Amino acid sequence: MTEAGFDYVIVGGGSAGCVLANRLSEDPDVRVLLLEAGGRDRHPLIHMPVGFAKMTDGPHTWGYATAPQKNANNREIAYAQARVIGGGSSINAEVFTRGNPVDYDRWAEQEGCDGWTFKDIQPYFLRSEGNAILSGDWHGTDGPLAVSNIPDPQPMTRAFVQSCQELGIPYNPDFNGPVQAGCGVYQTTTRYGRRCSAAVGYLRPVLDRSNLTVETGCLVERIKFDGTRAVGVAYSRGRARKTVRAEIEILVTSGAVGTPKIMMLSGVGPAAHLREHGIDVVHDLPGVGENLNDHFGIDIVAELNGHYSLDKYNKPHWALWAGMEYVLFRSGPITSNVVEGGAFWFAGDDRSVPDLQFHFLAGAGAEAGVPSVPKGSSGITLNSYTVRPKSRGTVRLRSADPSSPPVVDPNFLAEPDDLRTSVEGVKISREIFSQPSLQKHIRTIRCPDDGVKTQADYEAYARQYGRTSYHPTCTCKMGSDEMSVVDPQCRVRGLDGIRVCDSSIMPSLVGSNTNAPTIMIAEKASDMIRGNH
């Protein structure tokens, strides 16, 4: 069945797709269709900040796992990717960080992305940001993406920040200001005790526009081409199969896993790989699915000598109390994103910018696959990762069936430098837990145990306990070399009528969480699409 055409068809309703739907439909004469494979964001846990802990698996994700990781004991690591309107911004930990200016200058000066220096992209960060506290040259206050302070950080989060200072890591009230290094409490993408996803901030306020159509539950099967021009999208919704025309452009925003999968299903990608699966080659573009770059996070977990963390709310009477406090006053532990505290620091004295990021969780076992503490006790978790890993992996098709999951191989720890830096992160994490402000609350460090002492022990621990930090990027990278998939205007090289406008176009991973940078990319892309750039 062929439907009436739209000017723009956006494939993927995650963070980037919601931004584009909002910005492009500002022109009432432009018809915009947004297609999302997942459902609406109706589940109440999506909108409760603390609900993040229940969102890393289950029906709002695709249920992916990696290919066996040869440098991580051949483990198949759970790889959460959102399957709901709003994408990752609907299920993430709501941490608001933007990366370091050197990341974007590197894109422009070393990786062929003209027009993407920090000076170039900073206005788009500011345009997107609606900060309730910070303002000035480094922050926006009127943007759709709500950003605020955690109302009442947990006692263990405060102790974490104090312990960092006792170790010599200075307090930093703003990780998105002139200086990234330091420790503090993260700002989060929340407003009035509720999550502000891209769906909430960008999409919901404009759903009544007559020129914007949003369809959920749509599995895109392929993009259709007339020669080298993208002209339509074939998708299924339930048992119905449909094709929709795009009169101006198709904008692919399905994320660093979904976007290369859709491109390859459409005949755009490494020709030999496509032929293996019987897919007709529309355009041999070898960089599609290459260059996968993700943060490899390693947790340490401590058991507390009392019920000082969010784990105490696992008990029914405390859970009831927390629920009542939230319903009546929109306050209390449910307003916590769990991952409250953080730090950016150095793995060695010779670094000019931080090469490690830390996330402190005021609980234990909050996420799927993370070690916990004995039942009935309370714990805390500290995660660290190398912010600019050198290891690169791939996303490949498992088959030509659109419903088949792709083969995701992040190739974690393939580069020795990644392992060395990651181990330093674990060592620093242990030192933070040993400082007075936290140590007085800790009964024992459960992971790693006392048997981890030597460099070889730490390396073995990293290989066994490291996992994704949910920041896959770079699989349709932007640039000018032969492995680039899009040019600096997000246009797919060698094709017409199609752009990629999400985290997959990053040429290399930024030194922070990736939701805010993804939204920035879509903001900038919207101006280029409309000719305002």
pLDDT digits (tens, 9 = 90+) for 27-84: 999 999 999 999 999 999 999 999 988 888 889 999 999 999 999 999 999 999 999 9
Task: Name the domain count of the chain.
Answer: 3
Q: Which residues contact 213 (CB under 8 A, 6 or more apart)?
A: 6, 31, 32, 33, 34
- What pLDDT does residue 52 have? 85
Phi, psi of 124 (to 5 degrees): -80, -35
**Would residue 471 show up in a list of annotated catalytic residues for this protein?**
yes
Whether residues 76 and 221 fall in one domain: yes
Q: Say yes or no to pLDDT of 303 above 80.
A: yes
- What pLDDT does residue 369 have? 74
Asked if residue 300 belongs to a domain, the reply is yes
Asked if residue 515 belongs to a domain, the reply is no
Asked if residue 396 belongs to a domain, the reply is no
- What pLDDT does residue 370 have? 82
Looking at the chain, the whole-number percentage of residues with pLDDT higher than 70 is: 99
Whether residues 273 and 225 fall in one domain: yes
- What pLDDT does residue 1 have? 56
Asked if residue 176 belongs to a domain, the reply is yes
* Mean pLDDT across the chain: 96
Q: Say yes or no to pLDDT of 262 above 90.
A: yes
Q: What is the band of 533 on the pLDDT scale with cuts at 50, 70, 90?
A: low
Cβ atoms of 31 and 103 closer than 8 Å: no
Whether residues 286 and 300 fall in one domain: no
Asked if residue 477 belongs to a domain, the reply is yes
Whether residues 117 and 23 fall in one domain: no
Whether residues 52 and 173 fall in one domain: no
- What pLDDT does residue 117 have? 98
Q: What is the band of 2 on the pLDDT scale with cuts at 50, 70, 90?
A: low
Asked if residue 125 belongs to a domain, the reply is yes
Q: Say yes or no to pLDDT of 4 above 90.
A: no
Whether residues 446 and 327 fall in one domain: yes
C-beta atoms surrounding 202 within 10 Å:
28
CATH number of residue 75's parent domain: 3.50.50.60
Q: Say yes or no to pLDDT of 11 above 60.
A: yes
Q: What single-letter amino acid sits at 452? A: V
- What pLDDT does residue 3 have? 65
CATH number of residue 125's parent domain: 1.10.1220.110
Closest by CA position to 340, among listed 383, 376, 374: 383
- What pLDDT does residue 366 have? 73
Q: Which residues contact 201 (CB under 8 A, 6 or more apart)?
A: 18, 130, 143, 144, 145, 146, 189
> For the residues 140-158, what does the mean pLDDT come to?
97
Picking from 49-63, 146-160, 208-222, which range would have the lowest pLDDT averaged per residue?
Answer: 49-63
Whether residues 304 and 283 fall in one domain: no
Tens digits of residue pLDDT in 386-416: 999 999 999 999 999 999 999 999 999 999 9
**Whole domain around residue 143: which residue ranges?**
102-148
> For the residues 505-517, what does the mean pLDDT come to?
98
| 506 backbone φψ class: left, alpha, beta (φ>0; ψ -120 to 50) | beta
**Helix intervals (H) in 312-441:** 316-329, 416-433, 436-439
Whether residues 283 and 329 fall in one domain: no
Asked if residue 248 belongs to a domain, the reply is yes
- What pLDDT does residue 513 have? 98
Looking at the chain, the whole-number percentage of residues with pLDDT higher than 90 is: 94
Closest by CA position to 501, among listed 29, 6, 5, 13: 13
Q: How far apart are CA 419 and CA 296, in angstroms?
A: 10
- What pLDDT does residue 53 have? 82
| 279 backbone φψ class: left, alpha, beta (φ>0; ψ -120 to 50) | beta
Asked if residue 18 belongs to a domain, the reply is yes
Whether residues 183 and 306 fall in one domain: yes
Q: Say yes or no to pLDDT of 368 above 80.
A: no
Q: Highest mean pLDDT range out of 285-294, 328-337, 365-374? A: 285-294
Q: How far apart are CA 124 and CA 524, in angstroms?
A: 6
Whether residues 51 and 169 fall in one domain: no
CA dihedral 215, 90, 269, 528 (to 10 degrees): 80
Whether residues 278 and 352 fall in one domain: no
Tens digits of residue pLDDT in 84-130: 999 999 999 999 999 999 999 999 999 999 999 999 999 999 999 99
Q: Say yes or no to pLDDT of 481 above 80.
A: yes
CATH number of residue 312's parent domain: 3.30.410.40
Q: Catalytic one among 295, 359, 471, 533?
A: 471
Whether residues 347 and 455 fall in one domain: yes
Burial class (CB in 10 A: 0-12, 13-18, 19+), 107: buried
Q: What is the band of 447 on the pLDDT scale with cuts at 50, 70, 90?
A: very high
Q: How far apart are CA 121 and CA 280, in angstroms?
A: 37
| 157 backbone φψ class: left, alpha, beta (φ>0; ψ -120 to 50) | alpha
